[in-house]
Structure formats: C-alpha cells, structure tokens
A and B are shown apart, each in its own frame.
Chain A
C-alpha cells in the first residue's frame, strides 16, 4: 500500500509537491517511487539559482537498482536544494516526504498546479501499476 500524505500534490512521474508559501513549492519523490527504486546511492540535484520549465529533467536519483530522472513539476527558479543528500542519499528512502526532499522552486506560473494530482488520485494511479 502506498503512503501518500493528503496535504501534498503529486505527478504521474512520482514527484510530490508541497506548498511552502504563495509561490514557493518543495519537491521530492514519493514513498512508492523510493520503494520501487530501492536503496539510493547518488542524488544529482540542479544548481540553486537555475531556472527550470515544467516537466524538465532536473535531477537524477540513482539507486542500487536503476538511475531515474526527476522532472520539475513546475516552471520557475530553483531557490534551494537539499545539500544533506550529498552525503546521505538514503534520506530519500528513510523519509521521502520530510528530510528526503530534493529542491524548492519559486514558481512563475501558478496555473501549472492545476495539472497535479491529489493524494487520492495518486494512490489510485499507483494501485493500477
């Protein structure tokens, strides 16, 4: 059973999005995604200050099993990255919705949020897989 907190929004490619303030959002990968990938060994993050467009590949999570691209759910500027993942990629496994977050985006187009899924929709999607 997939664990997907209801206060977050989700993408079909298994990212989660948490609202931090009006236009800033924190991004990570879901519990379902980390469970499928297994132990993380390297996390490659975008540079703080860089700009991204929605659905750009902007990070890579590499596990014992496979390397997987992470797509930015929103367009905007990367304002913060989770530097702790450099030494402790396993945070993504242990706490995917907390200490295992990947980066924070200052969004430029709030309408992109309408494309995202609710927790219920996401759980339904993962149950189909």
Chain B
C-alpha cells in the first residue's frame, strides 16, 4: 500500500492497472498504453502527476541561493512566471535531481522535482538554503494534472473561467501563471503542446472529470515513459544520477557556464570536463529489426562492450524500438545491441525521435 493522490479512486473507477512508483500507487495504464500514447500524439491526454514534489522558496536572497544551488542560471528568469529546466548537482558534478524552477517574484521561486528523489532533494535544498535565510515550504495540498497533445490547450480553455482562459491563452511555452487558485504552466514531458495545471486537491476530481467529459483521455505512466523517450527527454535515475555528469547525459545545454564568476555546486568538478571532449555521450538508438531495446542492454562495438542502454522501449509513433544509450564519444553510425542472446544492429541518431507527432531524428 503506497501513498495515494487525490485522483486515486478516479483511476480505479476507470479500470487503471495500478503500480508502485516511488512509493505512490499510480496508474500504469487504463487498458492499453499504446492507445494512450496515440491519443496524446493525435488528440489530447491527461496524466495525474500529483506524486511529484512541489517546493516554494521564499526570502529576499532566494535568487542568490538558486544561482548557487542550480547548474542552469536563474538569471535567465526575469519575467513573472518564466520556467527553466535545470539540474541540481552535487560537489562531484553528479546529478542530485533534474527539475523545473519558476520565477514568481524576487522573493518567491517554485520548484517541481521528482517523486523518487523527494527525501534527498528536500534534505539537500534545506541544507543549503539555511545560509541564505531562504524558507523552504513543500506544497502538499495540491494536485498536478498534465494535459498534453495537439488539442490539449483548446480543451482546457473551455473549462476555465474567462479570467483564467485569457491568461492561459497568453502563455508562451515554458511560462506559467497563477490565476484564481490555478497555477497553469505551458510545459510538459511528452514533446506535445499542453499544460501542467496545479490545482487545490479538493478540486482535482471535479476538474479531472470535466476534462474526461470534454474528450481528454486518461493516460498512465506507461505511455508517459514512451512519450518522453520519443521526445528525447531524460529520465532521472535512467539517463543520469549522482554518479553521472550532465555533460555525459546530453544535458550540457542546461549547464550555464557563463558568467564565469557564478559559483554553483558542482562547477569546480565540471571545470576540467567542460571544454574537453567527454569520454562518453548520450545518443539515440533506433532498431530496424524486430525486437525491443530495453534499459541495461549492452552496446557492442568491434566485439567489445562499450556502453549500455539507459532507457529503451517500443516507439508507437515509429513502429520500432528506440533507446537512449551511453557510448564512447567517437561512436560511429551503427552499433550492436545485445538482447536475448543475439546482437542486433542499431542506428545511432541524435534525439529527439519525435516532435509534434512526427519523426524528426537525424
């Protein structure tokens, strides 16, 4: 028996297969995760992601604190509601977690971090916040619904008040607005347009039902994983962890190296690697043969094991298996992947695999 979100009973009513995810009882799918995947690519789907961790940070020195805590630079956030994707590193340059940070005002930022890393993240943030007199408040009375797909925003607009709708419609990607108790963010983890809407828990069931009635399909964690994989988005603990540098996880773009005088946790450890050629890198793999790439499979080059698959699955959009793998930096265009006693050839590509419903890899 795990923790339950405000929507748990709704998931049961919809016939969800429930699995444990980081101590939470969450829907894996509601019948077919492949169908759910197609609904998000073609129409609109909704995910209950209330198990994630939401943290408000307050205090006059909160920006200064985040400049030090996060590898990306919060100085990129200068307008209300702006969001930034970033890693939070340890002193060794490994990834404690990846997260989204929102700028709400000079004394108030908000973080959305992973459920699986809740305890260590909270401890890490609190430990470093003390020196900056920043107050750390976890928000526990909300639900988070992600509504994603080409029709998602349109369908959400119909369920909002006039004031909320006007503010939501004005949002450009990676921006959020708090309006009449809803925190509406134009973000997601699928490669489609859409919103993540944070609402009071006691309104979650009603909002979920209204979305369902409006034709938004419930989608479980199974499709969430294949959607993010197609979209080329990393998953914490698969593509990166405390032993992996963001530079070897395809996340160099999220490490704000300049200004050089900004000190952030992990900077010193990354220094020798940053302008050098890394030993390994994260690439995309596509399997043209029948079979499914899966995490931990070994990657073979010239008869030697040179890397491993970090995440793999069947891509419903492409009709073949895709994966992320960590391999030597100078890898060529093809590798072999070991599965079920065989070695099958895979193409090395640059993710993402799919954007806005269409194949897009190079």
Contacts and interface: CB of A to CB of B under 8 A. Distances in A.
Main secondary structure of the interface of A (DSSP, over half): strand
A119 to B, nearest CB: 23
A126 to B, nearest CB: 16
A64 interface: yes
Contacts of A93: 32
Interface residues of A, number: 11
Interface in B266-317: 290-292, 313-314
A44 B339 CA distance: 15
Interface stretch (A10-18, A34-42, A74-82, A100-108): A34-42
A93 B32 CA distance: 9
Interface string A89-129: 01001000000000000000000000000000000000000
Contacts of B340: 60, 67
A42 B314 CA distance: 10
Contacts of B34: 39, 41, 64, 90
A83 to B, nearest CB: 15
Nearest to A67: B340
A62 B34 CA distance: 14
Given A64-B222, A64-B226, A42 B292 contact: yes
B31 to A, nearest CB: 9
A41 B312 CA distance: 14
A39 B290 CA distance: 15
A38 B314 contact: no
Interface string B328-344: 00000000000110000
Interface in B14-64: 28-29, 32-35
17 contacts: A38-B29, A38-B222, A39-B33, A39-B34, A39-B35, A41-B292, A41-B314, A42-B290, A42-B291, A44-B290, A62-B290, A62-B291, A62-B292, A64-B222, A64-B292, A67-B339, A93-B32
Instruction: Give me the 5 closest cross-chain CB pairs, A-B, nearest first.
Output: A41-B314, A39-B34, A42-B290, A39-B32, A62-B292
